[in-house]
Amino acid sequence: MSHSTTEGDGNQNPDVIERKVIDVIVERLHIDDRAQVTPDARLYDLTDSLGLTEIVMDLEDEFEGSMSDEAVGTIQTVGQLIDYVRTNFHAPREKDKAGQ
């Protein structure tokens, strides 16, 4: 229960990554109830293939990484998407706060 990592120790806190992935999904899909975007939520229950493609593009931009079509095809839940981002992407950009 006391797994708290301070930001700035070189490695992003996994909760920061999870929050950012969920933020991208909520914003892209204009979801009013953030509580429905849980790690076990199925992506295709939230959106269609175009929506998923847009989410992936947003994540690639946010985390400055890329996902292969093959990898996208294997991801079915929000949790799997979060795990993929944790494993394969860098920390999210911080420009968001004072930007646009």
Q: Which residues are catalytic?
A: 48
Asked if 93 and 64 count as a contact pair (C-beta separation under 8 A), the reply is: yes
Asked if 25 and 78 count as a contact pair (C-beta separation under 8 A), the reply is: yes
For residue 74, the one-letter residue type is T
